[in-house]
């Protein structure tokens, strides 16, 4: 079962809870979260210890958008941040991006998510 509540992201300065700004499912068991704390976390819901399976700390500002590349051979995601960077990350080597691209604007998620995904994919090609 999924815990009703727990602290997923904390401020690196005060250790106080901070906001989760974006999430996306990878599959039936794994979800990614990006937060105000500039971290991207991979959660495996089969684990019951309330700790992330992996953490990526390459963004310098809050993570506001996530996109899963949806082809049958891809293990990659794209993250966008207020630091004006898009990062393509291979889930198998989660701590370092495969590609980092400065775009000179913040990638902000839209309710439909379609625009952000299309922009992200076109910019990292």
- Look at 64 and 6; give whichever has higher pLDDT: 64
- Look at 120 and 61; give whichever has higher pLDDT: 61
Residue of 35, 45, 48 lying closest to 8 (CA atoms)? 35
Each as own residue / partner, the long-range contacts of residues 11-20 (CB below 8 Å, 24 or more positions apart, any chain) are 11/36, 11/37, 12/37, 12/38
DSSP, res 90: E
pLDDT digits (tens, 9 = 90+) for 47-88: 988 899 999 999 999 999 898 887 666 789 999 999 989 999
Q: How many residues does the chain have?
A: 125
Is residue 13 scored above 90 in pLDDT? no
Residue 37: per-residue pLDDT: 95
pTM, full prediction: 0.81
Ranges of each domain in the chain = 20-124
> Architecture of domain 20-124 in CATH?
Beta Barrel (2.40)
């Amino acid at each position: 079962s999924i815990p009703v509540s727990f602290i997923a992201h904390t401020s690196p300065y005060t250790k106080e809870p901070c906001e989760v700004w974006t999430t996306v499912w990878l599959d039936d068991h794994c979800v990614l979260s990006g937060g105000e704390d500039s971290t991207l976390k991979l959660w495996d819901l089969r684990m019951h210890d309330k700790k992330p399976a992996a953490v990526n700390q390459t963004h310098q500002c809050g993570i506001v958008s996530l996109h899963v590349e949806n082809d049958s051979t891809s293990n990659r995601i794209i993250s966008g941040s207020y630091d004006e960077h898009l990062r393509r990350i291979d889930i198998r080597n989660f701590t370092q991006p495969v590609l980092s691209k400065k775009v000179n604007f913040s990638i902000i998620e839209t309710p439909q998510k379609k625009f952000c995904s299309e922009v992200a994919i076109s910019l990292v090609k």
